[in-house]
Amino acid sequence: MSWIIAVLIVVAVLLVIALAWSATKRKRDQLGRQRADELRSEAAATATTHAEEEARAREAEAQAEQARARADQLAARAEEQRTSYDMSRAQQEEHLREADRVDPDVDHEAPEYTADPDVRGAERGPGARPGTPE
């Protein structure tokens, strides 16, 4: 009869363990469901802000594209202005070379000769005639 009592005690302990495990699992599952519901609620709440953020991001991208286009236009304009300046400068220098070539007072073949108006003005000072000593 003592072995029957031992078997019943083991069965009872196993039953208590199974019931405890089942209760713990149910509690864990319930907590998991609650946490999942909380996460879904948070996700739904942020879904509306995501649409707003996406709209702001698209707007910023459009503004950046407009800024790039404007920068390209300004760069092209600057290049045109630089080319125009360079051509005008070359034409001015050519006129000065021609004037120096026909001026009998200018030694346009001298090694230190330059037709650059900036250098010439600095060498001679304001009001000096090209090719004449100061």
pLDDT digits (tens, 9 = 90+) for 56-70: 999 999 999 999 999
Of 11, 12, 15, residue with least CA distance to 23:
15
Query: Would 13 be classed as within a structural domain?
Result: no
Query: Would 44 be classed as within a structural domain?
Result: yes
User: Into how many domains does the chain fold?
Assistant: 1
Q: What is the pLDDT of residues 105-127, one digit of tens each?
A: 777 778 877 777 666 544 443 44
For tokens 């699992």, the residue is 25
pLDDT confidence bin for 84, thresholds 50/70/90? very high
Give the H or E element holding residue 25: helix 2-102
Query: Would 98 be classed as within a structural domain?
Result: yes
Q: How far apart are CA 59 and CA 56, in angstroms?
A: 5
Q: How far apart are CA 120 and CA 134, in angstroms?
A: 12
For residues 82 and 74, the answer to whether their CB atoms sit within 8 Å is no
Tell me the whole-structure pTM to 2 decimals: 0.46
Query: Would 109 be classed as within a structural domain?
Result: no
Query: Would 17 be classed as within a structural domain?
Result: no
Query: Would 75 be classed as within a structural domain?
Result: yes
Q: How far apart are CA 107 and CA 133, in angstroms?
A: 11
Containing structural domain, residue 87: 35-102
